[in-house]
Amino acid sequence: MDELEVLPKNIVLIGFMGSGKSTVGRELHQRLGYSLTDMDRLIEETVGKKITEIFKEEGEKVFRDFETLQLVEIAKQTGKRHIISTGGGIVIRPENRSLLRKLGYVVWLHAPEDVIFERTSKNKERPLLNHQDARERITSLLAERKPWYRETAHLKVDTAGLDSSEIAAGILESARYYFTNAV
């Protein structure tokens, strides 16, 4: 059987911190009525700690393990369609990247570095950027991760100048085309 014939019709949002995954995820959820799975929130609920606490008390490796575990659990769910909003570092592990593509239509939300810096500097909920040199960290993490986002995504959306409603509308159109031609 063709791999595409068994592809579940989830929409998976990937992209760097501050690229708008959660906001666009909520917008898609409202428009489509699919369940919304926000992986960061799910990890916080399951573990009973904020992400900043997990990083601080247990370290990044433990957080990444939770992330992969969560992805494996989501992949086991069949039937119900989901909008899956991921954490920006989900693409670091190769096994996550291949799982993501099996989950559905993967959309990379891409925002300019300036926008990312402006958005992420407004809150302290992101342990990887809670540093004096946040700007440099964004530059280097982005450079490292871009090839992984590119490799994982079926669609790249340049979000500059668009609001979440416009972004969601564009994603829906492409997803419909993709799903129609995939089955």
N residues, the chain: 183
**Nearest approach, Cβ of residue 54 and ligand S3P (Å):** 9
Q: Is there binding between residue 104 and ligand S3P (CB under 6 A)?
A: no
Report the residue number, 64 or 101, with the smaller CB distance to ligand S3P.
64
Report the residue number, 25 or 104, with the smaller CB distance to ligand S3P.
25
User: Would you tell me the crossing angle of helices 39-47 and 60-76 to the nearest 10 degrees?
Assistant: 110
| Backbone angles phi and psi of 72, in degrees to 5 | -60, -40
Please give the Cα distance from 19 to 138 (Å, whole number): 12
Among 7, 42, 128, 142, binds ligand S3P (CB under 6 A): 128
Among 11, 20, 34, 40, binds ligand S3P (CB under 6 A): 40
Please give the Cα distance from 150 to 167 (Å, whole number): 18
Return the range that interacts with ligand S3P (CB under 6 A); candidates 3-11, 75-83, 94-102, 121-129.
121-129
